[in-house]
Chain A
Amino acid sequence: GENVEQHPSTLSVQEGDSAVIKCTYSDSASNYFPWYKQELGKRPQLIIDIRSNVGEKKDQRIAVTLNKTAKHFSLHITETQPEDSAVYFCAASINGRVTDKLIFGTGTRLQVFP
């Protein structure tokens, strides 16, 4: 079946450094790739998303890149801050009769040390 692989599972960086999280998807028909941030005890919150007709999208310190040929996409966080510490989930849409299903990656626990 369809799946999304996410790496690394944990990531520790110094405040001010950059962080990169990578995901690979299996369904070549996937056309929507959101990233969610989940702080401890909180609900997942969408931080950025990208559609398959775009190769890169940026929002302040956060950017996402998509390589459709290789079927992988990445989240880039620059100038990390302690409040960026959370679990980040990537997801890919599963298309077909049902176009609103998402398959989630296994998550990356990001720790930013001051």
Chain B
Amino acid sequence: EADIYQTPRYLVIGTGKKITLECSQTMGHDKMYWYQQDPGMELHLIHYSYGVNSTEKGDLSSESTVSRIRTEHFPLTLESARPSHTSQYLCASSDSTSGGPPPYEQYFGPGTRLTVT
């Protein structure tokens, strides 16, 4: 089934560890996004990508980095996790190739809830 997958769904990790949050989509979408969301609060864009080898920082400053080597894969990495990184991270994608004017509907993954102790 075409969907967006995020792993792990929950992660508890100690301060200073390096972590990578995985996001893959089987929808054939060209654009992908990472949002940070505290529980019940607004979504803040931290990274986005318009295609392979194209990544840009979002509106919310983040110490994370991303890569887009394959169209379907958009992992997010924290080199040294801190308690301030505790949050939910949502991956999303959209399709600009199906025709019609931009902007395009964004589809969200189930999220990764990260806790840094």
Q: Which residues of A contact B (CB under 8 A)?
A: 1, 31-32, 34, 36, 42-46, 49, 51, 87, 89, 93, 95, 98-107, 109
- Residues of A close to B58: CB separation below 8 A: 101
A89 and B43 contacting across the interface, CB-CB below 8 Å: yes
Select which of B42, B59, B103, B107 is within 8 A of A107 by beta carbon.
B42
- B75 CB to closest chain A CB (Å) equals 18
Task: Give residues 31-83 of B contacting A (CB, 8 Å).
Answer: 31, 40-45, 48, 50, 56, 58-59
Q: A31-B103, A32-B103, A100-B94 are in contact. Are A89 and B110 (CB under 8 A)?
A: no
- B6 CB to closest chain A CB (Å) equals 9
Query: With an 8 A cutoff between CB atoms, is B99 at the interface?
Result: no
Chain B residues within 8 Å of chain A by Cβ, number: 26
Query: Number of contacts between A and B (CB, 8 Å)?
Result: 61
* Prevailing SS type, chain A contact patch: strand
Query: With an 8 A cutoff between CB atoms, is B23 at the interface?
Result: no
Q: Which residues of B contact A (CB under 8 A)?
A: 31, 40-45, 48, 50, 56, 58-59, 90, 94, 96, 101-111
Select which of B42, B50, B96 is within 8 A of A104 by beta carbon.
B42
Q: How far is the CA of A107 from the CA of B101 in the complex (A)?
A: 27
- Residues of B close to A89: CB separation below 8 A: 42-43
- A4 CB to closest chain B CB (Å) equals 9
- Residues of A close to B56: CB separation below 8 A: 98
- Residues of B close to A102: CB separation below 8 A: 45, 103, 106
Q: How far is the CA of A45 from the CA of B108 in the complex (A)?
A: 7
Q: How far is the CA of A99 from the CA of B40 in the complex (A)?
A: 26
- Residues of B close to A101: CB separation below 8 A: 45, 48, 58-59, 103
Q: How far is the CA of A34 from the CA of B56 in the complex (A)?
A: 23
A106 and B110 contacting across the interface, CB-CB below 8 Å: no
B48 and A100 contacting across the interface, CB-CB below 8 Å: yes
Q: How far is the CA of A11 from the CA of B43 in the complex (A)?
A: 20
Task: Rank and list the top 5 A-B pairs by shortest CB-CB distance, nearest first.
Answer: A99-B102, A43-B108, A93-B103, A32-B103, A104-B43
- Residues of B close to A105: CB separation below 8 A: 42
- B112 CB to closest chain A CB (Å) equals 11
Query: Quick one: which of A44, A89, A93 has the most chain B CB within 10 A?
Result: A44
